[in-house]
C-alpha cells in the first residue's frame, strides 16, 4: 500500500494508530475484513488501498458490501495530480472503475482543504444509504500542509428529517367520505392512536421534538436542520382542516355539508375552520378575493358555485 499512501501512513503514525490500523495480506482480503466488521458491528467499515491493482482488488469485497447493504468507506490512493492522464505507474481511471460500486458518493480530493467535507459526506452517505462510498487521494495531496478552508461550505446538509403530520385521523379517507358520500367518518376505522413519535425516535437513538403550537414551528425546523443525526418532527395538526382543493365541485361541498348535518364528530371544528377560510379570502392581498385585479373569467366556476349555493338557500 505504500506506493500511493506515504502521507496517509505517516499521518496514521502521528495519530498514534487512531483509528486502529488492521493489516491485511491482500487488498481483496482487506475489503472483506472491512465488510465483516461492518456487518457484525453495525458501524462503518473502512479500508485503504493503492491505485491500480490495489483499487481493482478491492472490488470483490466492496460489491459484497453494496449488495448486502452494509456501510463501507474505501480510501484509494492515486498517482500525483501532475502525472494523472500520463499512463504513470499503477494509474487507473478510478472514477470510472468505482462508478457502479460507489455510485452514491465517490470524489477525488484535489486539495487538503476538501478532506473534512469529503470524509463527512462519505461517512454520512454510507450510513444513510447502507452502501459503499469512496474517497480518492492523490499521493502529492497527502504531502501538502493542511489549513482550514477560508470559505463556508455552501451545501444542502446531508441529514434526514421526517415530519409527521399527526392529527390522529386517516384524514384523506375521512374527507373523501364527507365529500363523495356525504357521510361522517366511521370512527372505528378512521381513528389513529396518538403515539409519541418524537419520543420513539429518541429511544431509537435518533432525535425528535413535538410541536403543538404554530409559534414553535420555526424553532423545530432550526433544531432539525442542525441535528447531528436523523430527526423527527411530530406536528400536532387539526383533522378538521380539509385537504379539499379550491376547485372542489358544488356536489362535493354539499356532500361535506351533509356530513356535518348527519352528526360528524368534527362538525364544530369544521365550521370554525370554514369560517376562518372565508375570512381569509376577504383579507386585503388575498388572491381569492373576487374584487382583486384580474378576477373574472378564471373565477367563473367559483363564482357560479357561490351563486348556486346562494340560490339554493
19-66 confidence digits (pLDDT tens)? 888 888 899 999 999 999 999 998 999 999 988 889 999 999 999 999
Question: For residues 68 and 276, which has the higher predicted lDDT (pLDDT)?
Answer: 68
H/E stretch holding 237 reads: none
The yes-or-no verdict on residue 168 having pLDDT over 50 is: yes
pLDDT of residue 260: 60
Fold held by 161-289: Rossmann fold (3.40.50)
The yes-or-no verdict on residue 186 having pLDDT over 90 is: no
Q: Which of 122, 113, 180 lies closest to 151 in space, CA to CA? A: 113
pTM greater than 0.85: no
- Report d(CA 72, CA 241) in Å as an integer: 46
Handedness of CA 38, 44, 47, 53 (dihedral sign): positive
Q: Which residue has the cell 410541536?
A: 211
| Cα torsion through 88, 89, 95, 98, rounded to 10 | 170
Sequence ranges of the domains in the chain: 2-142, 161-289
Residue 1, C-alpha cell as written in the block = 500500500
- Report d(CA 309, CA 272) in Å as an integer: 19
- Report d(CA 273, CA 143) in Å as an integer: 66
Eight-class DSSP state of 155: S
The yes-or-no verdict on residue 196 having pLDDT over 90 is: yes
CATH no., domain 2-142? 3.40.50.970
H/E stretch holding 126 reads: helix 115-129
Q: Do 161-289 and 2-142 fall under one CATH topology?
A: yes
pLDDT of residue 297: 44
Mean pLDDT estimate for the chain: 78
Question: For residues 215 and 268, which has the higher predicted lDDT (pLDDT)?
Answer: 215
Amino acid at each position: 500500500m505504500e506506493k500511493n499512501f506515504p502521507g496517509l501512513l505517516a499521518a496514521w503514525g502521528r495519530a498514534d494508530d487512531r483509528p486502529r490500523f488492521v493489516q491485511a495480506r491482500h487488498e481483496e482480503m482487506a475489503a472483506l475484513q472491512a465488510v465483516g466488521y461492518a456487518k457484525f458491528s453495525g458501524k462503518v467499515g473502512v479500508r485503504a488501498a493503492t491505485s491500480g491493482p490495489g483499487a481493482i482488488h478491492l472490488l470483490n469485497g466492496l460489491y459484497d458490501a453494496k449488495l448486502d447493504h452494509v456501510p463501507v468507506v474505501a480510501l484509494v490512493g492515486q498517482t500525483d495530480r501532475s502525472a494523472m492522464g500520463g499512463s504513470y505507474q499503477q494509474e487507473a481511471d478510478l472514477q470510472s472503475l468505482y462508478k457502479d460500486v460507489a455510485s452514491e458518493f465517490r470524489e477525488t480530493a484535489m486539495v487538503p482543504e476538501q478532506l473534512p467535507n469529503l470524509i463527512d459526506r462519505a461517512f454520512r452517505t454510507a450510513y444513510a444509504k447502507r452502501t459503499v462510498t469512496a474517497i480518492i487521494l492523490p499521493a502529492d495531496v497527502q504531502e501538502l500542509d493542511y489549513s482550514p478552508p477560508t470559505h463556508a461550505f455552501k451545501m444542502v446538509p446531508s441529514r434526514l428529517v421526517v415530519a409527521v403530520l399527526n392529527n390522529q385521523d386517516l384524514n384523506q379517507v375521512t374527507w373523501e367520505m364527507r365529500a363523495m358520500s356525504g357521510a361522517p367518518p366511521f370512527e372505528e376505522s378512521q381513528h389513529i392512536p396518538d403515539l409519541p413519535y418524537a419520543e420513539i425516535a429518541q429511544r431509537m437513538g435518533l432525535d425528535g421534538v413535538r410541536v403543538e403550537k404554530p409559534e414553535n414551528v420555526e424553532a423545530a425546523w432550526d433544531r432539525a436542520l442542525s441535528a447531528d443525526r436523523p430527526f423527527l418532527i411530530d406536528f400536532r395538526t387539526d383533522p378538521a382542516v380539509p385537504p379539499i382543493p379550491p376547485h372542489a365541485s358544488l356536489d362535493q361541498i354539499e356532500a361535506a355539508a351533509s356530513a356535518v348535518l348527519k352528526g360528524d364528530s368534527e362538525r364544530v371544528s369544521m365550521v370554525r375552520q370554514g369560517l376562518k377560510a372565508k375570512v381569509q379570502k376577504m383579507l386585503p392581498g388575498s388572491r381569492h378575493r373576487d374584487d382583486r385585479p384580474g378576477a373574472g373569467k378564471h373565477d367563473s366556476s367559483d363564482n357560479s358555485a357561490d351563486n348556486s349555493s346562494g340560490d339554493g338557500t
